[in-house]
Amino acid sequence: MDNKAMYQLTYGLFVLTSCQDGRDSGCIINTAGQVTADPNRISIAVNKANFTHDLVKASGKFNISILSEDASFDTFKHFGFQSGRTVDKFDGYASCKRSKNGLYYVTEGTNAYISAAVQQSIDLGSHTLFIAAVEDMEVLSHISSATYGYYQKHIKPSPEKSQANGKPQWRCTVCGYIYEGEELPADFICPLCKHPASDFEKL
């Protein structure tokens, strides 16, 4: 069995946003897809380590902002490389608006958003699979959606570029996140894709 066959699956990239008790947050996911057309439903699988997971679970509603090829690496860093448990990601963040359901969606580097209400939650251990009814959506631009492959090739900085300051670096082979330090802690978890230290390679 060649586990690399999994790499041949393609994925889109999305900012998942939700809000509960006045607390907004968002994270990057690559697991949104339409599951039925009539009624129109989408599914998302969200790692429980994400603070936004808890907001979706508690509120039963979320927005998906679909990232497009003009999305900057800063957007990925902002929503992917820090945790909503310690940072308010919408404090001073200008590139967003609220949709009819009261949740934020991201207006820069995105080509559409979809608002959805959770109908079923399936506990998958590390993740929860949410199946949700589409309640509203808008197209924001006609720039192509950013696939995971496009992100790897064109958005994330190349290792040569990011190796400027001389510190040892470890790269997540799954998403490209760079950790800087003498040693990568054995219990380190990638802040972007949540894969373990064993998925990192030393540069």
Please give the Cα distance from 67 to 176 (Å, whole number): 17
- The least CB distance from residue 176 to Fe ion, in Å, is 7
- By beta-carbon proximity to Fe ion, the closer residue of 28 and 175 is 175
Examine residue 28 and tell whether it contacts Fe ion (CB under 5 A): no
Examine residue 118 and tell whether it contacts Fe ion (CB under 5 A): no
- The least CB distance from residue 194 to Fe ion, in Å, is 7
Examine residue 174 and tell whether it contacts Fe ion (CB under 5 A): yes
CA distance readout (Å), 109 to 36, 75, 105, 130, 137: 27, 8, 11, 25, 16
Residue recorded with tokens 């001389």: 166
Which of 13, 127, 193, 200 is in the footprint of Fe ion by CB under 5 A? 193
Tokens of 59: 């509120």
Which of 66, 175, 179, 200 is in the footprint of Fe ion by CB under 5 A? 175
Closest CA to 151 of 124, 176, 184: 176
Q: Give yes or no for a contact between 64 and 50, defined as CB atoms under 8 angstroms apart.
A: no
Stretch that binds Fe ion, among 22-30, 63-71, 107-115, 194-202 (CB under 5 A): 194-202
Question: One-letter amino acid identity for 171?
Answer: R
Please give the Cα distance from 80 to 63 (Å, whole number): 16
Examine residue 190 and tell whether it contacts Fe ion (CB under 5 A): yes
- The least CB distance from residue 36 to Fe ion, in Å, is 30
Stretch that binds Fe ion, among 52-60, 97-105, 132-140, 184-192 (CB under 5 A): 184-192
Q: Which residues contact 141 (CB under 8 A, 6 or more apart)?
A: 68, 70, 110, 111
- The least CB distance from residue 192 to Fe ion, in Å, is 5
Tokens of 182: 């003498």
Examine residue 132 and tell whether it contacts Fe ion (CB under 5 A): no
Which of 79, 90, 177, 179 is in the footprint of Fe ion by CB under 5 A? 177
The one-character DSSP state at 143 is S
- By beta-carbon proximity to Fe ion, the closer residue of 144 and 198 is 198
- Interface with Fe ion by CB under 5 A: which residues? 172, 174-175, 177, 190, 192-193, 195
